[in-house]
Amino acid sequence: MEENKTIQHALREIQSKLKAPKGQMNNFGHYRYRSAEDILESVKPLLADNSCSLTISDDIIMVGNRIYVKATATLVNEDGKSVHTTAFARESENKSGMDMAQVTGAASSYARKYALNGLFCIDDTKDPDALNVNKEYTQQTDANLETIIANIKAASTIQELTQIWNECYAYQSDKKFSSALTNRKKELKTKTV
């Protein structure tokens, strides 16, 4: 039991001290943002200070006819105890001059950034892509909902569904979100009976 506290203590310490500046500039939208690389650069000294390591892995998941990248960020302490978060990003249908590797790479970068955000409690609500002020950003919110629903459909346990519910409080009143969650929960309960 003490070992479990150790990983949680390290995570709290890292979360409270992490400062991840927005080191990138979007010249088209004229705003600053942080990338997964910015987060990783900022967290490395804190990992060393807390005797922890961080790994990030990707899995490719098909949901219907859509391809999603599932990124998992895992924090491990020196006792081998770990804690992880996952995030999903959908490959773009509009390739806009990118080859397939670039499309997958972009989805991977996005998913990794949000897995790191979740693990280290980094709030991007002030980023333009998180605001809901015009059609472009409303579509981004719709894309986020689609990603969350894909996450629900990919969940293999009730515990995963509970985690999704807890992490997605902004969507808890959304009918599509609630319906997808309820339906997947019924499917999982049917499989275990």
Domain count, the chain: 2
pLDDT in tens, 32-43: 888 899 999 999
Tell me which of 62, 85, 120 is where a domain ends: 120
Any domain includes 39: yes
pTM above 0.85, yes or no: no
Once rounded to an integer, what is the mean pLDDT over residues 1-28?
80
Do 113 and 21 fall within a single domain?
A: yes
Task: Pick 178 or 82 by higher pLDDT.
Answer: 82
Do 52 and 105 fall within a single domain?
A: yes
Any domain includes 127: no
pLDDT reported for residue 39: 95
* pLDDT grade for 97, boundaries at 50, 70 and 90: low
pLDDT reported for residue 133: 37
- Top mean pLDDT of 42-51, 84-93, 148-157, 160-169 is at 42-51
Tell me which of 72, 105, 120 is where a domain ends: 120
Do 16 and 90 fall within a single domain?
A: yes
Do 183 and 104 fall within a single domain?
A: no
Tell me which of 120, 155, 182 is where a domain ends: 120
Do 115 and 149 fall within a single domain?
A: no
State the residue range of the domain holding 20: 7-120
Any domain includes 165: yes
* CA–CA separation, 175 and 53 (whole Å): 39
Write the CA distances from 133 to 56, 82, 139, 170, integer angstroms: 32, 38, 11, 16
pLDDT in tens, 111-154: 999 999 999 988 765 555 444 333 333 334 666 777 788 888 88
Closest CA to 149 of 129, 169, 171: 171
Do 187 and 98 fall within a single domain?
A: no
If you average pLDDT over every residue of the chain, what do you get?
A: 81
Do 84 and 165 fall within a single domain?
A: no
How many other C-beta atoms lie within 10 A of the C-beta of residue 144? 19
The runs of H, that is alpha helices, within 50-131 are 100-120
Do 79 and 18 fall within a single domain?
A: yes
Once rounded to an integer, what is the mean pLDDT over residues 156-161?
81
Do 94 and 180 fall within a single domain?
A: no
pLDDT reported for residue 136: 36
Do 170 and 115 fall within a single domain?
A: no
Any domain includes 2: no
pLDDT reported for residue 178: 85
